[in-house]
Amino acid sequence: MKPIIFVLFISVMCLGICNADNKKLKMNYYHKSCPSVEKIVKEITWSKVAADPTLAAKLLRLHYHDCFVRGCDASILLDSTPNNSGEKTAVPNRSVGGYEVIDDIKKKVEQVCPHQVSCADILTLAARDAVSYQFGRSMWQVPTGRKDGRVSIASEALDSLPSASANFSTLLGQFQDNNLDIVDLVTLSGAHTIGVTHCTLVARRLYNFTGKGDVDPSLNPNYATTLRKLCPNPINRATIVEMDPKSSFSFDSHYFEALNQHMGLLGSDAALMTNSFSALIVRKMQNPHVFLAFFGRSMQKMGGIRVIAGGEGEIRKNCRVVNA
């Protein structure tokens, strides 16, 4: 990468990090009220991920889907009530998992430090620890002090969460609405290096891209052939496919290598290559050390989206319901 472009790249990253809305949070927030909370979260999360490697992607996605709707306030964890459909019932969230892990952590934390630690902080820590398990150490710091929200509305999730088929301008706009920039967009898309999705989200790219029974021309032809075998037509709604081909359980930079070979699975993945600066960042992120460093910074930024702190919000006793 040419020096002047590299400097510009780092400058954009710095602007994003420096503007992160983490001022209400701080490191070791619970050092007096619940000094063992991070140890508890890590031990339970690592134990769960060791037993079920798919949980790393699920917990990461759960955190992301929470933060993009009303900020990182654990609103996605709230169950629906007779008078309200909560976020978890919205179409983009129906395949989200990992709730039971947060329930288990909350139960243990309440036993040790009753009514001290928010569900929002537990979710943020668990997402970090789920990714970190593979590396045997915490991959980024998580400032804490979030409070839990009391509102969860399905329609807001439908409106706020990026679509799997979104184009670049739509994606960037939704990220900018959350004080995240183009570097964060590309970096956080790297979360697709782990996990799976349903063939239904890929079907249009494989079988009817322009309404004429054609394949998305931006998709690597060999990869398209492979996907058509994995997701035969008519599509079975239960069939799943790896987000990152042959690397869906390893948190690494392979996702960006695949993008550069036009093997991004979703339309929103492929969209990252349609903007010249975004494509430049994708190439830079092929370096695993660069990706992991930037991913941690962007996760810290995302974890600060519209947080509730201080006297606002509450600390739920049960992450699924607001306090009585």
CB contact set of 123 (below 8 Å; sequence gap of 6+): 59, 62, 63, 66, 72, 74, 77, 102
CA distances from 51 to 44, 55, 151 (A): 11, 9, 33
Beta bridge partners of 240: 198
- The pair of three-digit structure tokens given for residue 236, joined into one six-digit string: 């079975």
Q: What is the pLDDT along the chain (324 residues), one digit of tens a residue?
A: 443 444 445 544 444 444 445 678 999 999 999 999 999 999 999 999 999 999 999 999 999 999 999 999 999 999 999 999 999 999 999 999 999 999 999 999 999 999 999 999 999 999 999 999 999 999 999 999 999 999 999 999 999 999 999 999 999 999 999 999 999 999 999 999 999 999 999 999 999 999 999 999 999 999 999 999 999 999 999 999 999 998 889 999 999 999 999 999 999 999 999 999 999 999 999 999 999 999 999 999 999 999 999 888 999 999 999 999
Asked if residue 252 belongs to a known ligand binding site, the reply is yes
Model pTM?
0.93
User: CB-hemisphere CA count at 13 Å for 34?
Assistant: 23
Asked if residue 262 belongs to a known ligand binding site, the reply is no
Asked if residue 104 belongs to a known ligand binding site, the reply is no
CA 230 to chain centre: 25
**Amino acid, res. 247:** S
Q: Compute the Cα dihedral for 192, 171, 84, 309 and give only its sign.
A: positive
* Burial classification of residue 295, based on how many CB atoms lie within 10 Å of its CB (0-12 exposed, 13-18 middle, 19 or more buried): buried
DSSP annotation string for 114-169: TTTS-HHHHHHHHHHHHHHGGGTS-SS---B---B-S---HHHHHHHSPPTT--HH
Asked if residue 66 belongs to a known ligand binding site, the reply is yes
Q: Are strands 196-198 and 240-242 parallel, antiparallel or unpaired?
A: antiparallel
- Of the candidates 65, 115, 262, 289, the residue annotated as catalytic is 65
Q: Is 65 a catalytic residue?
A: yes
Beta bridge partners of 241: 197
Residue 44's nearest CA partner among 148, 117, 149 is 117
